[in-house]
Amino acid sequence: MAKTTRSYIGLGGNIGDVFSNMQSAISYLGSHAKISVKALSLVYKTPPWGIEDQDWFLNACAEVETSLTAQELLQQCLEAEKQLNRVRDIRWGPRTIDLDVLIYGNEEIASDALNVPHPRMHERAFVLLPMADLNADLILKGKSIAEWLELVDLTEIQKTDLKLTL
């Protein structure tokens, strides 16, 4: 059996049926022979970040095991976005779906296409809260996800009753 790497993927969106898009993205990734979706966080409703004059987002995280390289995993995430009509026209703007490779094993990658661990995830409650559902003890930049979570503003984030399925 090929070596696998534990990876975490952030999911989000704020246009259309975002929950359905998130579920479709999980199903797409899970249907790949070299990706196994192991766990899914709760789904959170979060205020927009960056550009604040837009609808609120739904956010979640997925834990996967993959024998793909980090770049190949990113390509699968981008393909899922494409199938779900993701348009990239405004940075931090509205989107049907967004998939980010947050962590890929213990690797540190800095390229034009991919940066892991995601360089700003420790500053973003909408990433840290669902990550904590999956692995609060995971160390990122010298602190656990739980410790980073104590340093961000969680006041407007709302837990939803929506449940993504494997």
Q: Which residues are catalytic?
A: 86, 95, 98, 100
Taking the C-alpha atoms of residue 150 and residue 166, their distance in angstroms, rounded to an integer, is 29
* DSSP characters over 144-159: EHHHHHTTS--TT-EE
| Paired tokens of 143 | 């602190």
3-state secondary structure of 35: strand
Please give the span between the terminal C-alpha atoms of the chain, in angstroms, as a whole number.
Answer: 22
Task: Report which of 101, 85, 99, 91 is spatially closest to residue 15, judged by C-alpha positions.
Answer: 85
Task: Report which of 166, 165, 163 is spatially closest to residue 44, judged by C-alpha positions.
Answer: 163
